[in-house]
Amino acid sequence: MVAESKSLLHRTIHLRPSTPATIQPRQCTAIGPNISGYNLPQQLCFASSGLALYIEEMDADFSERIFPEQPPQILPPLVPASEDQLPPQQQEQLRAVRAREFGRNRPRGIRSWAWAPATYLLVGINCIVFLAMLASHVSFVSPTAEQLLHWGANNPQAILVDGQWWRIVTAMFVHVGIWHLASNMWCLWNLGLLGEPLLGAWGVFCAYLLSGAAGNLLSMGVSQAFHSTDAVGVGASGAVFGLAGALIILLKSPRLPMPPKELASLRRYVIYFAAINFVIGFGTMVVPVGVRIDNMAHLGGFLGGILFALPLVPQLGSPRTQFLVRRRMAVAMVSGVLVLFGFYLSTVGILR
C-alpha cells in the first residue's frame, strides 16, 4: 500500500507493509503518472511485500543473468590487440615510450620510458671514471695492463691471492679506450631506457651490478682453470649482457599492458642484440682480429641477468607491493649465488 504525504518543503512517499500482493511488471504503467510528481522513474513501482522493484521492460532471462545457476567462468585478463583499446593513461605512457618525450607537457605523475635515472647514473659513472683516467695521463685509445690494474681491473691473482675482491665491482666501470667506452655506453643507454620501466631505477642498478659481478666472477674462474692468472678484464659489457638477459625474460610477461606484436618486436630486438654480440665475441676466438673479447664475462653476465629476472614481475602492469617483494627476492637470491660462487673460487684457488 502506498501512502502519500505533502509538506511545504518537499514531498515524500511512505511505504507501509500491508497484505502481501503481487504486482506484475506490466502493471507499473498504470501507477506511473500518479508518482511522477515525486521525481521517481515511471518504470519503477513499489510492492508492499518486501519493497520489491519491478522494471517495466524486463527481459525473459533477466533473473537468469543476475542469478545464474552456474558460477561465471574466470578467464585470464585480455591483452588489448591495439593501442586504442588501452586506457587513456596507458596510451599516454606508450606514446611517451615511442617518442622519448621526456620534459614535455604531460599530466603530472606520468613519466615516459625515457625517464631512467639509473641509466643516466650508470652512464655518468662510467664516463667520469674514463675522464679521471685521462686526467691521470692514461692513454685515450689503448691503456696498458698496469694502468688498467691501477684503476681496478679484474685479475685472478689480485683477487684470489691479494684478497682485492672490490675489483669484481670496479672492473665494470673501467674501459680500454674511447671506442670500448662508446660501444658499451651506447648499448647500456638503449637497454637501460627500455628496461627501467620494467625493473625500476633500483632494479636496473642492481641488475647492472649483480650481472656485471657474475660476469667478472665467471671470467676469473675460467682464467684460473686455464692458469691464466695474469689475465686483465675490464668493461661494462658483462653488465650490459645481464640487462639484455633480464629483458628477454620480462618482455615475455603477459602482465605488460602493450600489444603483443609490439612486445614481440622489442623482445626480438634484444635477442638479436645478444646473439650477434655472442657470435662476434666467440668468432674472435676462431679468427684472430687483434681484439681480445672476454666472452666468459659476457656469458656470465647474461646468465646472471636471466637468473635475476626469473622471480621478477614487471613494474609496468603489476601491483607495486608484489613488484617490490619480487625484486627484493631477486636481489637476495642472486647475491647469495654470487657469494657462494666466489667462496668456491677462493677455496679452489687456495687448494691449488
Which is more confidently placed, 93 or 64?
A: 93
81: how many CB neighbours lie within 10 A of its CB?
Answer: 10
In this structure, what C-alpha cell is assigned to residue 214?
657474475
Give yes or no: residues 120 and 62 share one domain: no
Confirm if 349 and 224 have CB atoms less than 8 A apart: yes
237 is catalytic: yes
Q: Which range marks the domain in which residue 36 is found?
A: 2-66
Asked whether the predicted pLDDT for residue 254 surpasses 60, the reply is: yes
Number of domains within the chain? 2
Q: How confident is the model at residue 61 (pLDDT cuts 50, 70, 90)?
A: very low
Is 211 one of the annotated active-site residues of the chain?
A: no
Give yes or no: residues 31 and 156 share one domain. no
Does 215 lie in the same domain as 284? yes
pLDDT at residue 287, rounded to an integer: 73
What's the DSSP call for residue 74? Answer: P
- Give the whole-angstrom CA distance, residue 307 versus residue 52: 60
Residues 55 and 181 in one domain: no
The answer to which of 58-72, 274-288, 304-318 has the lowest mean pLDDT is 58-72
Query: Which position has the grid cell 667478472?
Result: 216
19 and 127 part of one domain: no
d(CA 28, CA 303): 71
**Mean pLDDT of all residues in the chain?**
77
* pLDDT average, residue stretch 222-239: 89
Residue 93, in any domain of the structure = no
Last residue of a domain, one of 35, 50, 66: 66
- Average pLDDT on 120-145 reads 95
Contact 194, 247 (CB under 8 A): yes
Give yes or no: residues 40 and 159 share one domain: no
| CA gap 167, 118 in Å, rounded | 21
**Helix then strand then coil, % of the chain, to nearest 5:** 60, 5, 35
134 and 252 within one domain: yes
Query: H or E segment at 120?
Result: helix 117-135
How high is the pLDDT of residue 333? 97
> Is pLDDT larger for residue 80 or for residue 334?
334
Cα–Cα dist 204/211, whole Å: 10
Joined grid coordinates for residue 335: 647475491
Which range of 11-15, 240-244, 279-283, 288-292 scores highest in mean pLDDT? It is: 240-244
Give the phi and the psi of residue 137 in degrees, each rounded to 5: 70, 30
CA 223 from centre of chain: 34
Give the end of a domain, one of 33, 50, 66: 66
In a domain, 72, yes or no: no
Q: What is the pLDDT of residue 66?
A: 44
Is the pLDDT score of 320 beyond 90?
A: yes
The pLDDT value recorded for residue 32 is: 39
Query: Of the listed 237, 253, 265, 346, which one is catalytic?
Result: 237
Number of helices and strands (H, E) in the chain? 12, 4
Note whether residue 111 is domain-resident: no
Question: Are 122 and 216 in a shared domain?
Answer: yes
Cell readout for 294 is 672476454
pLDDT at residue 138 above 80?
Answer: yes
Q: pLDDT at position 147, please? A: 94
**Does some domain include residue 319?**
yes
What CATH number did the domain enclosing 253 receive?
1.20.1540.10
| pLDDT > 70 fraction of the chain, expressed in percent and rounded | 66
Please tell me the distance from the alpha carbon of residue 203 to that of residue 19, in angstroms, as a whole number: 69
Angle at 308 between CA 307 and CA 309, to 5 degrees: 95
Looking at per-residue pLDDT, the higher value among 121 and 283 belongs to 121
Q: Which helix (H) or strand (E) holds 46?
A: strand 44-46
Instruction: Based on the fold, state whether residues 234 and 139 are members of the same structural domain.
Output: yes
Residue 278, CA distances (Å) to 30, 126, 182 in order: 82, 23, 18
Show the cell assigned to 9.
518543503
In-domain check, residue 209? yes
Phi, psi of 203 (to 5 degrees): -65, -40
pLDDT for residue 92:
67
Q: How confident is the model at residue 218 (pLDDT cuts 50, 70, 90)?
A: very high
What is the reported pLDDT for 244? 97
Structure confidence at residue 69 as a pLDDT band (50, 70, 90): low
Q: Which residue has the cell 687448494?
A: 351
**Model confidence, pTM:** 0.69
Of 298, 318, 335, 346, catalytic:
298
- Indicate whether 94 belongs to any domain: no
pLDDT at 80: 53
**49 and 190 in a common domain:** no
Q: Which residues contact 107 (CB under 8 A, 6 or more apart)?
A: 89, 92
Domain boundary among 48, 66, 84: 66
**Cβ of 38: how many Cβ atoms within 10 Å?**
12
Among candidates 265, 264, 268, 250, which has minimal Cα distance to 316?
Answer: 250
What are the cell numbers at 343? 667462496
